[in-house]
């Protein structure tokens, strides 16, 4: 489950950046960025959370062996390796 908010361009639709009344409110780019940085999510690709730059703390990459070019058979592809990689360092 996502512990954040659903966003529309320039507006927050529920639960973040001070919009507690349930009505859409104008929010700043900074407020959206701050809300995203607080986001924590456990989903099909694993755990997601973000650092101070807004990058994922660890990004999951999947190396697959493709057995067919038929999209109906993509679920049959073999997982060869999963990599969890840190984001690049902040440039000074």
Does the residue 72 lie in any domain?
Answer: yes
Question: Is residue 49 in a domain?
Answer: yes
Q: Note down pLDDT in tens along the chain; length 92 residues.
A: 344 444 444 444 445 444 455 556 788 888 888 888 888 988 887 788 888 888 888 888 889 999 999 999 989 999 999 998 888 887 77
Query: Which structural domain, as residue segments, surrounds residue 58?
Result: 6-85
Q: Is residue 1 a part of any domain in this protein?
A: no
- Structural domain contains residue 18: yes
Looking at the structure of the chain, the number of domains it has is 1
**Cα–Cα distances in angstroms (integers) from residue 33 to residues 7, 14, 16, 76, in the given order:** 11, 15, 11, 38
């Amino acid at each position: 489950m996502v512990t954040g908010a659903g966003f529309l361009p320039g507006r927050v639709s529920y639960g973040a950046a001070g919009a507690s009344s349930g009505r859409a409110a104008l929010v700043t780019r900074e407020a959206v960025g701050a809300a995203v940085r607080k986001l924590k999510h456990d989903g099909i690709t694993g755990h997601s959370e973000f650092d101070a730059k807004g990058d994922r703390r660890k990004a999951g990459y999947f190396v697959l062996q493709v057995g067919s070019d038929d999209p109906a058979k993509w679920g049959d592809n073999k997982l060869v390796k999963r990599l969890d990689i840190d984001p690049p360092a902040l440039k000074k």
